[in-house]
Amino acid sequence: MRLHDLKPRPGAKHRKKRLGQGESSGRGKTSGRGGKGQSARSGSSIRIGFEGGQMPLIRRIPKRGFNNKRFKIAYLAVNLAELNAFEAGSVVDVAALQKAGLANGTYDGIKILARGELKQKLTVRAHAFSASAKTAIEALGGTAEVVA
């Protein structure tokens, strides 16, 4: 193989759209620019959101209040029933949950919720617990430890 043998992959190159090549070409006469007006002129480009001098929508709608969404802590929910996958007496932490496939994706912390029933004693280390999940873990003799 030499440099002159190199070719782009099939479908990687497209023909340039040739405008104004007669009516039968499908792109003749106005060449896809419609009739007259600002967008039909050469060199025209209208910025996004421009409404022809009318007050744009983004400036018409009222702006009030404060949104705390960017500062919110996004917890990944893990239910008690899912913790039955671990052996009795084992330590369940973030690494163990990830290895078991129960904590996938992006999150700021893991919160244990009380849906389902826990059947064995476990030491659970997570970022947050619901009150009922904590009592359910401790009722079986396990411990619920909050990690920073």
Q: How do residues 78-116 score in pLDDT, each as one tens digit? A: 999 999 999 999 999 999 999 999 999 899 999 999 999
The tens digit of pLDDT for each residue in 25-46 reads: 999 999 999 999 999 999 989 9
Give the per-residue pLDDT at 112. 96
The single-letter DSSP state of residue 136 is H
pLDDT tens digits for range 49-84:
999 999 999 999 999 998 888 899 999 999 999 999
Cβ proximity of 66 and 103 under 8 Å:
no
> What domains sit in the chain, N to C, each tagged with a CATH number?
70-146 (3.100.10.10)
* Local structure of residue 75 (DSSP, 8 states): E
Give the chain's length.
148
